[in-house]
Chain A
Amino acid sequence: MIEAKNIYLSYDDNKYVIKKGNFSIKPKEFIFIGGNSGSGKSTLLKSFYGDIPLKHGSLKIDNQEVFGIRGKKLRVLRKDIGIIFQDYKLINEYTIEENIMIPLKINGYSDEISKDQANKLLAHVRLSHRAGYYPNELSGGEQQRVAVARALAHNPKIIIADEPTGNLDDFSAEVVWNLLKGANEQLGITIVVVTHRVPKNLGIKFRQLSIEDGIIYEVS
């Protein structure tokens, strides 16, 4: 599913954030990527969806080489990925139903199908009663549940989540973890989560990677 060989990432040419990164992630795996603040966890995740270009090496997502990817190929890659951000990244001028419809509309589904799927997912994340609300009318926990629903909307092969519970209270965090666990177990979606706090009692088999001084280690 994800195959990294000798990857180097940096924001400028002088200092590499990730050095000589080698790892592989199999389909349907649940992966946590940990490390201290500023260790390069989010940078690594951004490289998965082409938001940061690779300096060297090879990174394949579902057999698509990410090195040097741009234009139409990059758009196709992103269409196959569900992304969850720490700050939710919902569009404030859209209702939450319309936010969930975004990946479906981009993938060319009709309004009717997109709306139907959005409502199913709103029920799944228990926010049906808020379908017509705007993001800034919801709590942080609710916004993140909308973000999870949006990431699941187009049935992606992989979901990438960057500190999805970083801004949430314990209750909301547990709801989000359960949604991701369900996506992995029931839908077989590969989940890659960057977090500095791996949840206890997740009740699912997972693998953990860690980044220290730009080097990626296998923890467990």
Chain B
Amino acid sequence: MKFLKNLFAFLIPLLSMLITFSIFLLIDNVVDNYKSKISRDYSIIIVTTTPVEKDSIKELAGIKVEKIQNLPNDKIISSIQSNLSETSVELLKQKLPNFYQIYLEIFPTTSELDDIKQTLLQNKNVRKVEVFYKNHNQIYLLLLLLNSVSFILFFIITIFAIIIIAKQIKLWFHEHSVKISILRLHGASILYSASSILNYALLSSLLSFLISAAFLYYVSNNMIVLFPIELHEIVDIDINLFTELVKIFSLSFSISTFTIFGVLLKYKITND
């Protein structure tokens, strides 16, 4: 009973933190997927004096360009051709600027769009840029907001979890103080003396990781837990489970190790 009580005292704050982290990872994945989905339908129009090669614009304000499509100006000319002489048409063909449609690899935020526009306008060859602010999707902005909120929540819970875990480790030290002092009197190192505490902590970390891994797996296959059914046509979860599990595992053990060694160091400084 005492063993379980000790285990839960460490496991619950760590698990809360890992579950929040899993939710953040899932929302981040939803945002990324949505971003790439809408980026396929989104493009920027630029007007240049001389022709532009795709290789000369590989990246715009840190965002990769997927493709550049030349918009032929034949249609413009054909629509007004009947009113013009052949010489004028030829002159117009020479003087008419080049129109391009730029497709980006991801869907940029409003500020990224501003940066892209400014970057393009710095080029003297570029005469006009149209980024279509109004097309900027409101669902995307809401998802971005949700992503930020989940990160802030994860951050706050992490701070509280570290405080609770540190308190629990101190409590364990207090409970095991007699045993630790006897072992130290026999020449044991602090790590050896506190090995039972370390075992508790590592077992709790492992259990927390397994539970949160199960949660992540379940939620990634059952979106309804996080998103109402009405959103299922819009949002999509497509995670690389292994990569995400590695992130959760690293977080679980790094937070536990960081807290344990913090408390051990403090104990060593106070008692040596």
Instruction: Give the B-binding residues of A (Cβ under 8 A).
Output: 49, 51, 70-71, 74-79, 83, 89-93, 102-103, 106-107
A77-B189 Cα distance, complex, nearest whole Å = 12
Measured CB to CB, the nearest residue on chain B to A106 is B188
A89 CB contacts on chain B under 8 angstroms: 182, 185
Let me know if A106 and B187 touch, CB within 8 A: yes
A103 lies within 8 A of B185 (CB): no
A-B contact count (CB 8 A): 38
Selected from B182, B184, B192, the residue in CB contact (under 8 A) with A91 is B182
Bound form: Cα–Cα A92–B185 in Å: 16
Set B179, B188, B272: member contacting A71, Cβ < 8 A: B272
Do A79 and B186 touch across chains, with their CB atoms under 8 A apart?
yes
Taking the closest CB of chain A, its distance from the CB of B195, in whole angstroms, is 10
How many chain-B residues does the 8 Å CB contact rule pick out? 12
Q: How far is the CA of A49 from the CA of B186 in the complex (A)?
A: 9
Question: Judging by beta carbons under 8 Å apart, are B185 and A91 in contact?
Answer: no
Among A70, A76, A83, A106, max chain B CB count under 10 A is at A106
Determine whether the beta carbon of B188 is less than 8 Å from that of A75: yes
- Write the nearest CB–CB distance from B199 to chain A, whole angstroms: 13
Query: How far, in Å, is B79 (CB) from chain A's closest CB?
Result: 88
A77-B187, A78-B185, A79-B187 known; A106+B179 contact, CB < 8 A = no
Question: B178 contacts the other chain (Cβ, under 8 Å)?
Answer: yes
Interface: B183 (CB within 8 A): yes
A78: which of B179, B187, B272 is its contact (CB, 8 Å)? B187
> In the assembled complex, how far is the CB of residue A53 from the closest CB belonging to chain B, in whole angstroms?
11
CB distance from A61 to the nearest CB of B (A): 13
Q: Give the distance in Å from the alpha carbon of A179 to the alpha carbon of B20 in the complex.
A: 61
Query: Which chain A residue lies CB-closest to B180?
Result: A91
B180-204 contacts to A, CB under 8 A, are 182-189, 192
Are A78 and B186 closer than 8 Å at their CB atoms?
yes
Pairwise interchain contact A75-B187, C-beta atoms closer than 8 A:
yes
B272 touches A76 (CB 8 A): no
Specify which chain A residues have a CB less than 8 angstroms from the CB of B187 in the assembled complex. 74-79, 103, 106-107
CA distance A89 to B186 in the complex (A): 11
Q: Mark B229-255, 1 if CB is under 8 A from A, else 0.
A: 000000000000000000000000000
When chains A and B are docked, how far (Å) is the Cα of A75 from the Cα of B187? 4
Chain B residues 159-181 with CB under 8 Å of chain A are 178-179
Name the A residues within 8 Å of B179 (CB-CB): 91, 93
Chain A positions within 8 Å of B186 at CB level: 78-79, 83, 102-103, 106
A13 to chain B, nearest CB (A): 20
Across-interface contacts of B185 in A (CB, < 8 A): 49, 51, 78, 83, 89
Decide: B188 and A91 in contact? CB cutoff 8 A. no
- Nearest CB in chain A to that of B190: its residue: A75
Min distance, Cβ A164 to any Cβ of chain B, angstroms: 15
B272 neighbours in A (Cβ, 8 Å)? 70-71
Q: Which residues of B contact A107 (CB under 8 A)?
A: 187
